[in-house]
């Protein structure tokens, strides 16, 4: 059973956040948390909190299962562009340059490898029949 966590209107450009998201895509949750904890990039702290939220969402969905036995991993993580605040900066000779302050939306999907493998095995058994 997968769990989803979303973070909206993060005041960081999507390009900078995607660099950090690429570090943890497909990683086990413990490994991903360690990577984010020691990463110096700008969005790492926010992604760390978002990943912890996704883990707690998974625990709420799967009350009977233990977190240690589940073997959670980051199934999907993607960064979409959010709203853009447009500002003006004075330029020479009475002109103005537009400054775009970008934001983003991040979505993390966490899943257990045990359930994912079980679904794949059942699909191959059904296709053989």
pLDDT 10s digits, 88-109: 999 999 999 999 999 999 999 9
Distance, in Å, from the CA atom of 38 to the CA atom of 35, rounded to the nearest integer, reads 6
- Collect the ranges in the chain with pLDDT lower than 50: none
Distance, in Å, from the CA atom of 38 to the CA atom of 40, rounded to the nearest integer, reads 6
| CA 86 vs CA 33, 38, 72, 99, 101: distances in Å | 34, 33, 40, 6, 6
What are the φ and ψ backbone dihedral angles of 63, each rounded to 5 degrees? -70, -30
What pLDDT, on a 0 to 100 scale, did the predictor assign at position 70?
A: 86
The closest alpha carbon to 39, from 21, 53, 56, 52, belongs to 21
Distance, in Å, from the CA atom of 36 to the CA atom of 44, rounded to the nearest integer, reads 5
Contact call for residues 112 and 56 (beta carbons, < 8 A): no
Q: Whole-prediction pTM value?
A: 0.83
CATH H-level superfamily of 3-128 = Ribosomal protein L22/L17 (3.90.470.10)
Contact call for residues 48 and 37 (beta carbons, < 8 A): yes
């Amino acid at each position: 059973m997968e769990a989803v966590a979303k973070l909206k209107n993060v005041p960081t450009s999507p390009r900078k956040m995607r660099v950090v998201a690429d570090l943890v895509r497909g990683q086990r949750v413990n490994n991903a948390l360690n990577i984010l904890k020691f990463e110096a990039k700008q969005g790492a702290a926010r992604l760390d909190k978002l990943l912890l939220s996704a883990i707690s969402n998974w625990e709420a969905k799967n009350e009977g299962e233990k977190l240690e036995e589940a073997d959670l991993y980051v199934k999907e993580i993607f960064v979409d562009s959010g709203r853009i605040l447009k500002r003006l900066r004075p330029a020479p000779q009475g002109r103005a340059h537009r400054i775009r302050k970008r934001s983003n939306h991040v979505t993390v999907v966490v899943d257990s490898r045990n359930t994912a493998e079980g679904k794949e095995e059942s699909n191959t058994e059904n296709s053989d029949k």
